[in-house]
Amino acid sequence: MKSRQASKRLKNGLFLVFFSVVSLAYLMPIGIVVINSFKRKAYINKYPFSLPTGRDFVGLENYRAGVEAIGFFEAFGWSLFITVGSVSLILLCTSMCAWYISRVKNRWTRAFYYLCVFSMVVPFQMVMYTLSKTADSLGLGNPLGITVVYLGFGAGLAVFLFAGFMRSVPLEIEEAAMIDGCSPPQTFFLIVLPILKPTMVSVGILETMWIWNDYLLPTLVLDQKKYKTIPMAIQYLKGGYGSIDWGLMMAMLVLAILPVILFYVACQKYIIKGVAAGAVKG
């Protein structure tokens, strides 16, 4: 017993050490962003890797100035609204849709599935103007409307992911629910959804990241006269002649990724192991 535990501990130790090293290397680029967010801009280009010391250290000045320059908090509000709204809508609608097309198999659902796949393949350049035109003529150029655009544009990936994972849910469990008197919506919400939770969380994370960081789509679709998201706002730190205020940029980047990291960490614990275990024989 001891030897097994010992070897296990050794293995764990090795794992820890190895992954810690890799992690540090992995984080380096992000570290650079953080470090430089405390530097004065002229020094960032010259000495990107040095720690902010002495004359190039400006403390939180970049953060303060950046927040002011781009109207960070307003942009943050819209970003939050759009991201939360769109991701919720996507998760809800596409998981339902994916369930539908993987349980009702016919020509139409299969066709729709492949359309979803296609939508991921299409280069954005091909649809960007037509998308902005369509959204505009339907009056979707506001934060509420853009959630619908995101749903439509993000449906491909989400449906694809959900449909893929739907296969590992044993059918018998859903049948049991039907017998217990569940209507399809109840079966879905009370049984399928909880079992798919890890997938939900994963898809949620991926979509959140996409929407939170997305620049082009909101630029094209949103009514810029009224609304700005963080990525749109951050763009103003780039000057007309290709010069970029890296100090403010880095600071704003740090602020922009913080919420997503927090969100991710919070979601981690829902990615639990083997939810369907013990449910069926076979």
Partner 1 sequence: GRSESSSDSAAGQGKVYYLNFKPEQKDQWEALAKEYTRQTGVKVNVVTAASGGYESTLKAEIAKSDPPTLFQVNGPVGLSTWKDYCYDLSDSEVYRQLKSEEFALEEDGQVLAVAYAIETYGLIYNKDILRRYCQLEGAVISDASQIQNFETLKAVAEDMQSRREELGIEGAFASSGMDSSSDWRFKTHLANIPLYYEYRDEGITSAAAVKGTYLENFRNIWDLYLNNSTVEPSLISSKTGDDAASEFALGEACFYQNGTWAYEQISGYEVADEDIGMLPIYIGVEGEEDQGLVTGSENYWCVNKKAAPQDIQATLDFLEWVITSDEGRQSLAQEMGFVTPFKTFGEEYTPDNPLVKAAEEYVQEGKTSIGWYFTTMPSDQWKNDLGAAMLEYAQGTGDWDKVKTAFVEGWASEYQARQ
Partner 2 sequence: MASIRFDHVVKTYDNGVTVIPDLNLEIQDQEFVVLVGPSGCGKSTTLRMIAGLEEVSGGGLYIGEQKVNDLPPKNRNIAMVFQSYALYPHMSVYRNMAFALRLKKLPKEEIDRRVREVAAQLELEPYLKRKPRQLSGGQRQRVALGRAMVRDPQVFLLDEPLSNLDAKLRTEMRAQISTLHKRLSATFVYVTHDQTEAMTMGDRIVVMKDGRIQQVDTPQALYDRPKNRFVAGFIGSPQMNFWQTEVLRGPEGWRLRGAGLEFGVPGWQLEGYEGKNVTLGIRPEDIHAEEVMIKAHPDALVRGKVSLAERMGSEIYAYFASGSQKLIARAPARTGIRGGDEVVMALDLNKLHLFDADTGERIPRQG
Partner 3 sequence: MKKTLKRWFPLFGLPTLAAFTVGFLVPFVVGLALSFCRFTTVSDARFVGLANYKSILGDGDFLHALWFTALFTLVSVVLINLLAFAVALPLTKGLRGTNLFRTVFFMPNLIGGIVLGYIWQLIFNGVLAMFGRTLTYSPVYGFWGLVILMCWQQVGYMMIIYIAGLQSIPGELYEAARIDGANPRQILFRITLPLSMPAITICTFLTLTNSFKLFDQNLALTAGQPSNKTQMLALNIYDTFYSRAGWEGVGQAKAVVFFVLVAGLALIQLYITRRREVQQ
- Applying CB under 8 A, the residues found at the interface with partner 1 are 41-43, 45-46, 128-129, 132-133, 136-137, 141, 215-216, 219-220, 223-225, 232, 235-244, 246
Cβ distance to partner 2 smaller for residue 68 or 180: 180
Write the interaction track for partner 2 spanning residues 187-226; mark x where CB under 8 A is met and - where it is not: ---xx--xx-x-----------------------------
Helical (H) or strand (E) element with 160: helix 143-166
Residue 232 touches which of partner 3, partner 2, partner 1, none (Cβ within 5-8 Å per kind): partner 1
Footprint of partner 2 on 134-173 (CB under 8 A):
170, 172-173
Minimum separation from the CB atom of position 68 to partner 3 (A): 21
- DSSP H or E stretch at residue 17: helix 2-36
Nearer to partner 3, 82 or 140 (CB): 140
Closer to partner 2 by CB, 46 or 281: give it.
Answer: 281
Structure tokens at 200: 């939900």
CB of 191 to partner 2, least distance (A): 6
CA distances from 171 to 20, 47, 168, 177 (A): 41, 59, 9, 10
Which two structure tokens, joined as six digits, stand for 57? 């250290």
Q: Name the one residue in this structure whose structure tokens are 């409307």.
A: 145
Per CB under 8 A, contacts with partner 2 among 4-33 are 4
* Pairwise CA distance, residues 237 & 228, whole Å: 14
- The answer to whether the CB of 254 falls within 8 A of the CB of 184 is no
- 189-192's contacts with Cβ under 8 Å and 24+ in sequence apart are 192/99, 192/166
Paired tokens of 19: 């992954």
Rounded to a whole number of angstroms, the minimum distance from the CB of residue 13 to partner 3 is 9
| Contact with partner 2 (CB under 8 A) among 28, 108, 175, 262 | 175
Neighbours of 35 (CB within 10 A): 16
- Binds partner 2 (CB under 8 A): choice among 23, 45, 50, 186: 186
The backbone torsions φ and ψ at residue 167, rounded to the nearest 5 degrees and listed phi first, read -65, -20
CA–CA separation, 146 vs 259, rounded Å?
A: 21
Q: How far is the CB of 81 from partner 1 (least distance, A)?
A: 20
Which of partner 2, partner 3, partner 1, none is residue 242 near (CB under 5 to 8 Å by kind)?
Answer: partner 1
Chain positions contacting partner 2, by CB under 8 A: 1, 3-4, 170, 172-173, 175-183, 186, 190-191, 194-195, 197, 274-282
